[in-house]
Amino acid sequence: MSESLSAPAASNTFERIKRVTAAGADFWSARELARVLEYTDFRNFTAVITKAREACANSGHAVADHFVDVNEMVGIGSGAQRPIEDWTLSRYACYLVIQNADPSKPLVALGQSYFAVQTRRQEMADKEALKEDKTRLLLRGEMKKHNKNLAGVAKQAGVIQPLDYAIFMDHGYRGLYGGLTAKGVHARKRLKPKEPLLDYMGSTELAANLFRATQTEEKLRRENVRNKEQANRIHEAVGRTVRRTIHELGGTMPENLPLAENIKKVESREKKRIKSEQKKAAALPPDTES
């Protein structure tokens, strides 16, 4: 391999051997990476893997999240096969591997640059995703609270029976979603029958619905509404006002916003993240300053 290999060519090389899991995560085979880096003896590359795993542990990351031991079956003739040792490597693992690889090999220096840039981009994307997760969790919690409050105020206005409440909620959705009822929005988003609409809303859509709910609640209280037909009209009018505001600001109409990941999965991931951070904090040496 020529030492004059350009950065774009190196990038294409690493992209070519990249694989993607069913969940959409990028990973690389250690054996393929070794061949690209021109390690002719994989035993020498396993020493690099060991150093990279140590660096991963020292950085506070879970090694098992980035280096996964696998056995691949290879043919040895006459239809027989035998297992060979390999690892699947995350982008961060590749970065650590190349940081510990032989710098005299032509592609190592370019690989260090490639994976450093890609790892930084992934870190930034993860931070944005984490920010969105936290925002969604906060707004979803507020929606639960204010939907309960709204139901209480609506009950004082005569919205008592389950059917009355369903009709009342449909008026709010029709105002906000351009005439679509709750069932219509559910169908428009192509959700399954038992998938709660609010659990699949992103932060922008949740915020619009939270504003609809809180403002309807306040208006019903302020005007001391005691008539369910009037409550329905107010709910729809508030929804239309929120929709009009979105339009005036140049925003995307809520029915056209994409589905987000199920909030239950976000809650589970956030609990695991917090638990992991607590473990890392517990592993740190105590502060000896007086």
- Give residue 1's pLDDT band: very low, low, confident or very high (50, 70, 90): very low
- pLDDT 10s digits, 99-133: 899 888 877 777 776 777 776 777 676 677 778 88
Query: How far apart, in Å, are the Cα atoms of 186 and each of 5, 53, 262?
Result: 53, 46, 14
The answer to whether residue 60 scores a pLDDT higher than 60 is yes
Q: Is 137 left (phi over 0), alpha (psi -120 to 50) or beta?
A: alpha
Q: Report the candidate in 108, 246, 90 with the shortest Cα–Cα distance to residue 177.
A: 246
Q: Which residue has the higher pLDDT, 109 or 204?
A: 204
When mean pLDDT is compared over 70-74, 113-117, 157-161, 276-280, the highest value belongs to: 157-161
Mean pLDDT across the chain: 86
CB 95 within 8 Å of CB 26:
no
The answer to whether residue 2 scores a pLDDT higher than 50 is no
pLDDT at 188: 96
Which residues contact residue 58 at a Cβ distance below 8 angstroms, ignoring those fewer than 6 apart? none
Instruction: Lowest mean pLDDT of 20-24, 28-32, 223-227, name the range.
Output: 20-24
Q: Which residue has the higher pLDDT, 17 or 179?
A: 179
Dist. CA 54–CA 76, nearest whole Å = 33
Query: How far apart, in Å, are the Cα atoms of 185 and each of 173, 206, 268?
Result: 8, 14, 26
pLDDT at 286: 60
The answer to whether residue 86 scores a pLDDT higher than 50 is yes
Rounded (10°) CA dihedral 64, 65, 67, 73: 90
Mean pLDDT of 266-275: 84
The answer to whether residue 79 scores a pLDDT higher than 60 is yes
Dist. CA 53–CA 230, nearest whole Å = 66
Q: Report the candidate in 239, 221, 257 with the shortest Cα–Cα distance to residue 170.
A: 239
- pLDDT 10s digits, 231-255: 999 999 999 999 999 999 999 999 9
